[in-house]
Structures are given as C-alpha cells and as structure tokens.
C-alpha cells in the first residue's frame, strides 16, 4: 500500500490525465486502483480532490494519501463465514457452498464470500491461481446455487486442475428441481449469448440479430423422482457457460423452481433457486487417480424437497 506521499508534475507529465500520471509514477499499482483512489478522494492536486480525467499542469502538487498496489489485491480472511468442507488434502479443498453466498469477492475490501471463509482457514489460498480474487478457486457457481466448489492448495495443483477444466475433462453433476413433470432423459444443445439489454442473463443466440459472442453449451438430464408438480433432475455438463443449466432447462420448457430470471413462478418466502452442484469427477492433480466427490444437498434444499414429497 502506498501511503502519504506526493510529487510535483513535470513538464513531460503536463497535459496528461491524472489517472495516467499516477499509473506512471506508481507502476506497482494499477489503473483500476488509481481510479478507485481518485473516486475515494484519496488523491489531491494542489490540496483539492480531482477527477481521474483532469489534465495536469507543470508544477501541480499531487498528494497521495492511500493507493493500493497489485500485491494488495488479495482476498481478505473472514473467519465469520461458515464453511462446510466435504474433502481436503494437501493439494485441494472441496467446499459445499450454501445458496445466497457468492463464491468470491469482487474487490479486496469485500468479505462474506466462500473464498473469504476458506482463506481464513487455509491462508495459502490467497496467493494461488491466476485471478487474485478467486484465491485458488477453480470455477464459480452462481450465488443462488448451492453445492461444491473446488480450490487448489498449491500452484501445481491449480495448474493441473485448471487444464482439466479447460479441456472439458471434468464432469459436473447437478441436482435441479424443475417445474413440471419430466418423463424421460434428454439432452439440450444451444449456442448461448449474453442478453444485450439485461445484464447477467443468457439467451439462445438464435434469438439475437447479431450476438457479440456465441458459447456452445451442452446439458444432459434425467429424471430422478417426481415431487408434487415438480421433478428432481440429475443434470450433467462438461462445458461451463454462464447460467448454462438454468438457461437451457428453461429453453427446454422446464425452468428451475423459483428461478424467476428464467421464467419460473416465484415461490413465496423463498430466496433461492433449486439448483445444487452435487458431484464432480476429475483426476487428482498429484496422483492422477480418478476422483469422484459429492456435496450433499444443503439443508434448505432437502427441507423444501421433503415438504413437496409429503404433500
């Protein structure tokens, strides 16, 4: 962290934007951190806070009260986060995330996420991976989805597991409670794209005149049991497109219960959609042996399903 320092603008720096000059003066920081410091009023020019786009003049005095460096962009430990570990060894950890908890923070100040809780218990995670705020996590699941999340405990394990995810060698199995009765197994194949006007929602790329990017998604499902007017499905994927299962099941006519973003009816008093990352199959990054790890249904999913079964 850069604190309580300053400099005088040179003739070469004159006419440049303030954020650009800060980045040049403090290369251990980043453009994003420079902008954050400016927005927070932690950088002043001639004793006054300035906007990031302000053009500087020769002789201006710039004071930096607080400016993050790249090494500060780490997940903060938060021991108050409840963490349920389903598997751990010297190379990797598998946690069972509850619905409603994000996998990782979006800024280094944020706490309350799964990775904040894991870093509090396994401090080595904070230094791992290729995205600092993922802290060694190999993948994401939606905040409203419960279930397993894998994290590596060494950089070698991270590299080995990441290669398996990228080559689609990892099999991911979910449990999804959907609206309606599903009688037979099926397979869904779509090119998905981001909705151009609804951030955070996916659509069938064929519904757009000119999608920015098409992402191939393949989802297989089979019914396990009927529960009232709903069906519990086992869903298997190898691809990892955003909202893949949620979007594709809705496109197939079976939206996930309470997933109102994709057309499901709202459930009174319920704050989650009923999708659970249940099982993952991969090769151990150290031994190469096949691994199959399961995360039991979370208590809220089990309770809701039990109520449907007993009605």
As a whole number of Å, the CA-based R_g of the chain is 24
Give the pLDDT confidence score for residue 101 in this predicted structure: 97
Q: Measure the CA angle with vertex 195, ends 190 and 197; round to 5°.
A: 165
CB 281, CB 254: distance < 8 Å: no
Confidence (pTM)? 0.82
CA dihedral 90, 96, 102, 104 (to 10 degrees): 0
Q: Report how far residue 5's alpha carbon sits from residue 29's, in angstroms, rounded to the nearest whole number.
A: 14
- What is the full per-residue pLDDT of the chain (311 aa) written as tens digits? 899 899 999 999 999 999 899 999 999 888 888 888 898 899 999 998 887 788 899 999 999 998 888 777 889 999 999 999 999 999 999 999 999 999 999 988 899 999 999 999 999 999 998 888 999 999 999 999 999 999 999 999 999 999 999 999 999 999 999 999 999 999 999 999 999 888 889 999 988 887 778 999 999 999 999 999 999 999 999 888 999 999 999 999 999 999 999 999 999 999 999 999 999 999 999 999 999 999 999 999 999 998 887 76
Q: What is the pLDDT of residue 287?
A: 96
| DSSP codes of every residue in 94-120 | EEEEPTT--SS-SSTT--SSHHHHHHH
Catalytic residues: 142
Q: Are 180 and 253 in contact (CB under 8 A)?
A: yes
Assigned token pair, 200: 């955070």
What confidence score (pLDDT) does residue 36 get?
A: 85
Domains and CATH numbers, the chain: 2-72 (3.10.290.10), 74-167 (3.30.2350.10), 168-311 (3.30.2350.10)
């Amino acid at each position: 962290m850069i604190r309580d320092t300053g400099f005088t603008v040179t003739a070469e720096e004159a006419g440049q934007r303030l954020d650009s000059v800060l980045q040049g003066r403090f290369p251990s920081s980043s453009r994003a951190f420079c902008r954050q410091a400016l927005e927070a009023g932690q950088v002043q020019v001639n004793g006054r806070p300035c906007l990031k786009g302000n053009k500087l003049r020769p002789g201006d005095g710039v004071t930096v009260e607080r400016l993050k460096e790249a090494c500060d962009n780490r997940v903060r430990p938060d021991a108050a986060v409840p963490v349920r570990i389903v598997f751990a060894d010297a190379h990797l950890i598998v946690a069972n995330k509850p619905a409603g908890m994000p996998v990782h923070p979006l800024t280094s100040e944020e706490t309350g996420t799964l990775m904040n809780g894991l870093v509090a218990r396994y401090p080595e995670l904070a230094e791992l991976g290729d995205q600092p705020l993922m802290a060694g996590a190999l993948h994401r699941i939606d905040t409203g989805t419960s279930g397993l999340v894998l994290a590596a405990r060494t950089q070698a394990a991270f590299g080995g597991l990441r290669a398996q995810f990228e080559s689609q060698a990892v099999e991911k199995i979910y449990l999804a409670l959907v609206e309606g009765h599903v009688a037979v197994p099926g397979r869904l194949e779509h090119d998905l794209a981001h909705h151009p006007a609804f951030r955070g929602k996916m659509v069938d790329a064929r519904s757009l005149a000119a999608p920015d990017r098409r992402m191939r998604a393949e989802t297989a499902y089979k019914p396990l049991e009927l529960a009232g007017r709903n069906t519990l499905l086992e869903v298997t994927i190898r691809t990892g497109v955003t909202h893949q299962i949620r979007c594709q099941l809705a496109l197939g006519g079976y939206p996930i219960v309470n997933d109102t973003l994709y057309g499901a009816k709202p459930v009174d008093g319920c704050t989650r959609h009923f999708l659970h990352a249940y099982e993952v199959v991969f090769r151990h990054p150290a031994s190469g042996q096949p691994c199959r790890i399961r995360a039991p249904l979370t208590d809220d999913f089990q309770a809701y399903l039990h109520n449907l079964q007993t009605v």
